[in-house]
A and B are shown apart, each in its own frame.
Chain A
Amino acid sequence: MRIANFVATAAVGLLLACGRPQASQANNSQAANSASPAANAAATAIVAGARPLSKDQALKIMHERHEGMEDVGKNNKVLRRELTAASPDLAAVRAAAATIARHSAEAAHWFPAGTGPDVGKTGAKPEIWQKPQDFAAKLRDFQIAAQALNAAARAGDLNAIKARYGALGGTCKACHDNYRAEMKH
């Protein structure tokens, strides 16, 4: 249902973006190296936004994003503790994996244009909106990896969970290396 939601948002984003010369031009130029038209739409939906955000709206999204990312981090720590333990608590692993998967779906709405460091305190770098296609691809990798981990956690095979956990961490790093600034609380 989350994915359907995400695709729907992406489609809406595409429709709206087509009405904007700049955005659709960007879409075309990036189409060459993208996986699918839906991916383009996703990129546009993630970073373009339907209409300019008010300051309050922007700050609200940024707050939600911050809290969400922090929660992903916390649950990631729980996962490492459990998965390096001699006898992992599968219930805890499942809860953490489900939470991260939920946040990963929410993340589709976390990066509209106008929620960068020029608006308020954030670790999100301006590069997100300068390279929307690449950013969206990396966000998508994160979402896929989070869903895969969640599925593995439900199935309950520890080796599969550990492999997917490792893969998930890779997607976090891949994005944070370029798009996340160091941030002091």
Chain B
Amino acid sequence: MKNHETDWHIWSGIAILTLLLFRLMWGFVGSSTARFSSFVRGPRQVLGYLRGEWTGIGHNPLGALSVVALFLVTAIQVGLGLFNEDEDGLYAGPLASLVSPDTSEKIREIHEANFKILLGLIVLHIAAIIFYRLRGKHLIKPMITGRAAVDPVAEPFRPGRWWVALICLAVAFAISRWIVAGAPPFGT
């Protein structure tokens, strides 16, 4: 990566970290379809969905696997990035000084390898959206608007509260800011 792009790289990572933190909290206190408890399902339900036995709204049990995988791999990517530094020691994630240069070096290698996994998941994710679209199911619009034509037997959608979202966002910002400052007592 060219050096002058590295600042963008790092700040994009911090922005994604903030989004991940928000989504994590929203997964517990957000809208009904955003809550992990409402869509993360075991293998039996996944197989059931594949047989057409699913009538819910939001992420289906198979899509839930994609959500979890994307969330985890993105979290790993961002988490590793925080401890990363370039080989010249010119650019460093906010927590790089907390580990030794050798550890940071190994972390950089995993950060690079994990990105390929992330790319694979992104391709799979987009392919799935296109697949559903070709079968007549729109996924993106409902994701943004919260509105979709649903099966009448499905449970009703309960939107999240705006002030809960605001609190989650504020907490996510605060945690990110804390990490940017160098974490524990702000650096070593």
By a beta-carbon cutoff of 8 Å, the part of chain A in contact with chain B is: 70, 72-81, 84-86, 169, 172-173, 176-177, 182
Q: Does A176 lie within 8 Å of B3, measured CB to CB?
A: yes
Q: Does B187 lie within 8 Å of A85, measured CB to CB?
A: yes
Centre residue among A80, A85, A86, A182 by max chain B CB count within 10 A: A80
Q: Which residues of chain A have C-beta atoms less than 8 A from B1's C-beta?
A: 182
Contact of A173 among B3, B96, B97, B188 (CB under 8 A): B3
With CB as the reference atom, state the residue of chain B lying closest to A184: B112
Q: Does B90 contact A (CB under 8 A)?
A: yes
A-B contact pairs, 18 of them (CB 8 A): A70-B87, A73-B87, A74-B89, A74-B101, A75-B89, A76-B89, A76-B90, A80-B92, A80-B97, A81-B97, A84-B182, A84-B187, A85-B187, A86-B187, A172-B90, A173-B3, A177-B2, A182-B1
Q: Does B97 lie within 8 Å of A169, measured CB to CB?
A: no
Q: Does B104 contact A (CB under 8 A)?
A: yes
Q: Which residues of chain A have C-beta atoms less than 8 A from B161's C-beta?
A: none
Contact of B88 among A78, A86, A176 (CB under 8 A): A176
Q: Which residues of chain B have C-beta atoms less than 8 A from A176's C-beta?
A: 3, 88, 90
Contact with A along B60-97 (1 / 0, CB 8 A): 00000000000000000000000001011110100011
Q: Does A73 lie within 8 Å of B89, measured CB to CB?
A: yes
Q: Which residues of chain A have C-beta atoms less than 8 A from B51's C-beta?
A: none
Q: Which residues of chain B have C-beta atoms less than 8 A from A81's C-beta?
A: 97, 101, 188
Q: Report the number of A-B residue pairs with Cβ-Cβ less than 8 Å.
A: 48
How far does the alpha carbon of A130 sit from the alpha carbon of B36 in the complex, in Å? 58
- Knowing A77-B104, A79-B89, say if A84 contacts B2 (CB, 8 Å): no
- Knowing A177-B3, A182-B1, say if A85 contacts B97 (CB, 8 Å): yes
Q: Which residues of chain A have C-beta atoms less than 8 A from B96's C-beta?
A: 80
Q: Does B187 lie within 8 Å of A173, measured CB to CB?
A: no
Within the complex, the shortest CB–CB distance from B181 to chain A, in Å, comes to 11
Q: A79-B89, A85-B97 are in contact. List 7 more A-B contacts (CB 8 A).
A: A73-B88, A74-B101, A77-B104, A80-B89, A84-B97, A84-B187, A177-B3
Contact of B101 among A78, A169, A172, A182 (CB under 8 A): A78
Contact of B85 among A72, A77, A79 (CB under 8 A): A77
Q: Does B4 contact A (CB under 8 A)?
A: yes
Centre residue among B1, B2, B88, B104 by max chain A CB count within 10 A: B88
